[in-house]
Structure 1
Amino acid sequence: MIHITLPDGSLREYDQPLTVYEVAASISLGLANAAVAGRVDGVLVDCGFLIEGDARVSIVTPQEPDGLEILRRSCALMLAMSVKQLHPNAQLRAGSSLGDGFFYEFAFQRSLTLAELPVIEARMRALAATNHSIRRATAPRATSTERLSLYRLGDFESFAEGPHVPATKVLQAFTLDHISGTSQQRIYGTCWSSQQELDTWRAPPQVMVVNIDERQTAYAHSVTQALRRRELRANSDLRNEKISHKIRQHSQKVPYLLVVGEKEKEGGFVSMRSGSGEDFGEKGIEAVCELLGPPKTGGV
C-alpha cells in the first residue's frame, strides 16, 4: 500500500505504484487536465514520474510561478523542434526559460531575420494544436541530481532541463518577439497560462527592468515581480544584448528604465533613469514604487 500525503494534510492510499498524473486524476479530472508537473517530497518532477513509495505530493499547475516556468521551458523545446523542421541543417545549442519568456540558441548556415519569426511561430502553433506528448526518455527519480535529461517531443529528441509539460496542448498563449546574433542566433519568446495574461504583457509597460549581463537575470526578474505586486506595469528585458542597445531601444518607448548590474544586485537596489535620459540615481524597490505608484489619498 502506498500512502500519499496531499498539501492540505489529507492522506490517500493506493494499492500500486502510480504516476503524478494518476494522483491528480484521482483527485479530479480538472486537476489532471491542468497539471504540468508535480512535487514529490519537495522535488519538481514530470507528470509521468512513477511514485513507488510513501510520499508527500502536490500537483503543479500554470497558475503558480513554477508552473509558468515549466510552460516556458517546454515552449523552448517546441521552438527547437519547429526550427529543426523548417531548417534541418540548424544546429541546436541550448535553450530554457528566461524571466517572462524563453529562448533557444541555434547555429544556422545563414542568419535568420526578424521577418522569419512568424513562420516559426506558425509551425509552433501547429505542433501545439496536434497535442504532441513530451516524455522524458529515462524514468526520473526524485533523488536525481542530473540537470539535463533526454526528452522526446513527438519524434524529436533533445537534451533539456526538466520537468516539462506532459503535452503541447497547454502551450497556447505564446509569441516569438526577438532574434539576436549572426552565426549563432538566439530566438526569444514569451509564454503565459492564458491569452489574457499574454495580452497584459503586450500592453505598454510603465517601467522596464534591464540587466547588464546574464549574472543579474534572476535578480532583475525578482525586481520585476516585486514591481508587479505593487500594481506597476513592469516588464524586463533579459536578452543577452549589450546594455547600451537595450537602453537605447527602450528609451524610445518606456517612461522609466531600471538598470541592474552586479553592484545593484549585491546592494539590493536599482539604478533608475527616465526614457528621456534623466538620471534618478540608485533607488531601493520601495522608493521606486513610491515614486511611480499612484498618489496616496487621505481623508480629512
Structure 2
Amino acid sequence: MNGLLFRRPVPGAERGPDGWRLRWPGCAVMGILNVTPDSFSDGGRHATPEQALAQAKLMLEAGALVLDIGGESTRPGAQPLSAAEELGRVLPVLRALSGWPVVLSVDTLKPEVAQAALTAGAHMVNDVSGLRDPEMVRLCAEAGAAACIMHMRGEPRSMQERPEYEDVVAEVFGYLRTQSQTARAAGVPGVLLDPGIGFGKRLEHNLALLRGLDALTGGPDPVLVGASRKGFIGVLGGAERAADRDPGSLAVHLHAARHGAAMVRVHDVAAHLQALRVQAALEAGG
C-alpha cells in the first residue's frame, strides 16, 4: 500500500493524528492537465477553462487519483513565463475544480504561483526544479501540502544542452534523497520523488534511471515516474509525433510499476489504468 501525508484536507484521505494520509494500492495515475498553448504534446488543446474542465472530467471518470495542472510549458527549450501569466492560466481551472473528488496538484517552479494555487484549492505542489528554492519548501510546509520533488539538470530552456553525469543513477537518486530529507526537516508532510526522465538527460541517462529504479523505490518515499510521450520514446519506438508515443509510454510506465513506482504521470489516463489493472491481476495470479 502506497501513501502520501498532508496536513490539509484531501479528497479520499483518512484523517489521523499526524494529518490526512492518502493511501492507494499498487501504482496510481496522475493525469496531466496542461492549460498552455505550447506544451510539447497537447499544447493548446486544453488552454481554455472549458476545455480544461472537460478533459479533467474525462480523466476523473477514467480513474485518475491526481490531476496535475500546469500553466507553463517545461519542454526542452521553453522560455520562462511570468508569474502573472501562469496564474492567469491555472487559477480559473483550479477554482473550478475545487471540491471535485480528486487530488489537485499544481505543476510549477514559482513559489508565488504555488502559494496562490494552494489558496485556490490545490492540495500539493509538483516542482520540476526539485524544491531548490527554500521559499517553495517553506510555503509547502506552512500550507501542509505534499510536494513532488523532481530532478532537473539546469532549467527547461537549457537542460538538454550537453547534459553530463559521472554516475547518473547515483547522482539523481542521491539528490532526490537529500532534497527529501531537507523538505521533511523543514516540515513538508509528504513527498513524492521523481527522477525527471527527459529533464537534462540523454537517452542513455533515461534508460539507466529506469533500469535502476529499484534503488529508489526501495527507500521510504513513494516514487513517481513521468515518461509520457517524451522524446526518447519517439527515438526508441520510431514515433516522431508526440501524440503517437502512447504505446511506448505504456511500456515504460508498466516497467516502472513492476519496479515499485507508486504513481505514473500520464496523458492517456484511461489506457494506463486499463494496462496497470491487467498487469496487477497477472502479477497477483488473477
- TM-score between the two structures when normalised by the length of structure 1: 0.27
> Whose RCO is larger (CA < 8 A, sep 6+)?
2
Q: Which has the higher strand share?
A: 1
- TM-score between the two structures when normalised by the length of structure 2: 0.28
Q: Which has the higher helix share?
A: 2
